[in-house]
Chains A and B, each alone.
Chain A
């Protein structure tokens, strides 16, 4: 069933809601929340960096489930969703590396370090960028869908490795915080921005899936009857 556009206005509503949440969360994070005890003002980058990280994991998780469902059901709707989630995941992973580098310079003294968290995130970014590149080089939609779904499942192995890397290995990157270890003054802007990025990510995936669905619909259309007769 292509293209799938049951709620045509929903992504635009989510975009607006996401922007509102991000404006409110960023205002609180930049001007209301106090500076952190050791990192000072630089810690304010957390309010945008951590929500990007959470939602990046979520985007790749959605790509993983879309890949599995596509392999089982052969429904190209899921192929379009997988393509969309991979592209948005790459966007967020790229942003994550940029924000992390900007945070790393004043706190660690370097823009980049090959520590486990950063290295596994870079691997994630390039692995999924490779899958998107692979899709560009395969013309047959069936082969493209199956190959990229298999590659997505393999590349997804890196997602839990990224998450647990700070616990498994000796990393410069700090371990995950929990609500019980974060002051409520830090918690509200973080939560608002997390929902803001979540709404933006969902809207981006929905809109990008529409683009992929429409392209797939034109690729999967059967040839005209006279041409089909010639081919036979």
Chain B
């Protein structure tokens, strides 16, 4: 951080978006698997 402005930070941005996409995808897959089991 320099003078109140945060420089860089793309790594954190990609981490947040990547982790969100991963968690949502894994949960969606788990739903389909569980739905097949109870069918």
Contacts and interface: CB of A to CB of B under 8 A. Distances in A.
Interface in B1-39: 1, 4-10, 12-13, 15-17, 19-20, 23-24, 27-28, 31-32, 34-35, 38-39
B7 to A, nearest CB: 6
Contacts of A98: 16, 19-20, 23
Interface string A96-134: 001100110111000000000000000000000000000
Contacts of A200: 24
B38 A99 contact: no
Contacts of A39: 6, 9
Contacts, number: 77
B27 A91 contact: yes
Contacts of B23: 91, 94-95, 98
A62 B10 CA distance: 35
A33 B35 CA distance: 39
A97 B36 CA distance: 30
A181 B9 CA distance: 24
Contacts of B12: 42, 45, 102-103, 105-106
B9 to A, nearest CB: 4
A173 to B, nearest CB: 16
**What secondary structure prevails in chain B residues at the interface with A?**
helix
A15 interface: yes
Given A207-B35, A211-B34, A15 B16 contact: no
A95 B21 CA distance: 10
Contact of A41 (B1, B4, B13): B13
Given A38-B4, A48-B20, A106-B1, 11 more contacts: A37-B5, A40-B6, A42-B6, A42-B12, A42-B13, A91-B27, A98-B23, A99-B16, A102-B15, A102-B16, A214-B38
Interface string A13-40: 0010000000000100010000001111
Contact of A45 (B1, B8, B16, B32): B16
Q: For the side of the interface on A, what is the size category?
A: 20 to 34
Contacts of B4: 38
A77 interface: no
A136 to B, nearest CB: 14
A204 interface: yes
Contacts of B20: 48, 52, 95, 98-99
B17 A30 contact: yes
